[in-house]
Amino acid sequence: MGYPNAEELSEILDGMSVTTHLDEIKKWHQHRCIFFKEDNQLFFASKCVLVEGPAEKYGLPILAKVLDIDLTNLTIISCNGKSKIPYYQLLCKTFSIPYYTVYDLDNKTVTDRDNKRLHRWSESKAITEFSTSFEQLLGFEEDVEHKTNELLIMIDSILEKSIPEEIKRALSGLERWSKEQ
């Protein structure tokens, strides 16, 4: 594992240095309620994709394979909610791990406070937003019993022609980004 990048530590994000934001992780016990043991894969990634939840973590590679899009050199991390993505962005930035952020707007605009933060903390243009939730884009009804199981079955059965254009564009953008540098 590498060391924090000194230049990144001094960068100012939302009026505070990255170092100050990192100090807040422990101060507010975020290391206990946000991060999981499985997240250590982030530190071994050559490039990381930060997504809101397990549906995107599971679904994006499956749909990419259907479209013959190669995402094999990317590590996809489920951040377990949009509000937690900035903490993962912070870790990636601090340790100089290239990262791409994928999230949904939750029926708000890009200029919404939480959505703007994701953009401010992202690496240049390495960010994509969906107009609504990933599940809704796929036509999945959220009030289904055994929701996760049904969603995974649905994703496994999707054919190329039924993948929404918004998801296709996101996957194409991820593929282009994965081949940079």
CATH number of 79's domain? 3.40.50
Element housing 49 (H / E)? strand 48-51
Average pLDDT, the chain: 82
Residue 85 in domain: yes
Judged against a pLDDT cut of 80, whether residue 5 lies above it is answered with no
Average pLDDT over residues 1-22: 67
pLDDT at 161: 82
Q: Does residue 181 lie in a domain region?
A: no
Indicate the residue type of 82. K
- Tell me, yes or no, whether 76 lies in a domain: yes
- The pLDDT value recorded for residue 27 is 56
Residue 120 lies in a domain: yes
Instruction: Give pTM, 2 decimals.
Output: 0.78
Query: Which amino acid is present at 97?
Result: I
The answer to whether residue 96 sits within a structural domain is: yes
User: Is 35 a member of any domain?
Assistant: yes
Among 2-16, 53-67, 136-150, top mean pLDDT goes to: 53-67
Pick the residue with more confidence: 117 or 35? 117
Contacts of 45 (CB under 8 A, 6+ apart): 74, 75, 77, 97
What whole-number distance in Å separates Cα of residue 52 and Cα of residue 134? 9
Structural domain span for residue 79: 6-132+143-174
| pLDDT over 80 (residue 141) | no
Q: What is the pLDDT of residue 159?
A: 83
Total domains in the chain come to 1
